[in-house]
Amino acid sequence: MGAKSINLSQWSRIATRSSRSLAIPRRAFSTSPAWQKAGVVPSFNKSSSTELDDLLKTIRDLIIMPGYLSPAQQDLVYKPKHRKMLINDEVTANIAGEKFRLEYIDVEHVRPSPRKALLNALEKFQEKDMDMLPGLLEGIHKSQPKVTARPAVVRMVITRAAKFNREDVLLECVRQAEATGLRLGNEDCARNLMCSYLAKAKSEGTAEALKKAIKWSEMTLDLLEDPKHVSEYPDLPDPRTLPEVVAPHVELTAIKAKQTGDANDIGQVEQYGKRLLALSPNARKPTKEDYGYLNIWLNDNALGLYTAANSAGEVLGSGSETGASLTKWASKLKEQMTPMYNSMKDTDWAQEKTRTGIQKYKEVFGDES
């Protein structure tokens, strides 16, 4: 005989049928308006591979869906003492019109790590899968709020979106920060997002790509002022105060001004160049002599600041106070970087594999020392 289907609203009537049953109040299992506000559990279209389809189903069933249950329903699926009852009796939850059969979820041995599962899924994403990104992040964030803010996750999200030229999807995730958890208050998110716009414009090399990148970077800087993007960690630096976040936009405006020579475009360089200079005292400084740390500092901080300041200084010229100050700062940055580069470039550590900071230095300056 098959298992009997039991609706959650019926559970209070069966909860007391034996001494082994759980006397949980009926109200704990009702789908009340408060829980309906949680919304629809995100679903996923057929993806680029059966492997990704299977992984997304696992993520939806074992990680996302439980986040849309009430506390009492979560108690049912997570506590081992309810396992036998859930096998014998078909207990269902109705979430925004979709019925889910509740089953015991072994968090330690069966459910995958939410962070690892999300990274694994993102790694498998292809271009056709990118439209599912907002829903995936929303579902994970609902169930495991801290996961989508992890630096490794933020980097992977931005990397995959940039690879497939889907910065539009990425920006949509940022706009929906309260749902997706992708907040610009996260320094890595803000800086990497701005850098992705610059990289895309440079790689495509067209006027249209440059125009789009400038538009996106302006929107991102505006979004940084939105209270919902304030960092959840007050002890971390505010991205709005970091020159590394503004620098990609400065460089984008300088590239455009060089191409057009238009007074309005040069005015944009002046405007954002002043903003960059005002933030320059907050630039990250190398505080360790460790090669790994210095390599990251070159890649994530100093070189981006140098190229932005130098490009803007070239556009504005020495006749502009802002231009002269930017050029002077760029020179100081180079003086600071060069000895660090020289100390690393010929070491065994540098030869083991590609070191992004060293490689980027060579791209900007050649192999000069």
**Nearest C-alpha neighbor of 160 from the set 61, 52, 239:** 52
For 302-335, letters b (16+ CB in 10 Å) and e give bbbbbbbbbbbbbbbeeebebbebbbebbeebbe
DSSP 149-171: GSHHHHHHHHHHHHHTT-HHHHH
Distance separating alpha carbons of residues 103 and 214, to the nearest angstrom: 49
Tokens of 231: 């960092």
Q: Which residues contact 229 (CB under 8 A, 6 or more apart)?
A: 174, 177, 183, 184, 185, 223
Three-state secondary-structure class, residue 234: coil
pLDDT beneath 70: ranges in the chain: 1-38, 232, 368-369
pLDDT of residue 368: 64
pLDDT of residue 352: 93
CB 59 within 8 A of CB 121: yes
- Which pLDDT tens digit goes with each residue over 203-258? 999 999 999 999 999 999 999 998 888 776 777 888 999 999 999 999 999 999 99
Q: Specify the DSSP class assigned to residue 68.
A: G
Q: Which residues contact 105 (CB under 8 A, 6 or more apart)?
A: 62, 66, 77, 78, 111
| pTM of the entire predicted model | 0.77
pLDDT of residue 27: 30
pLDDT of residue 10: 47
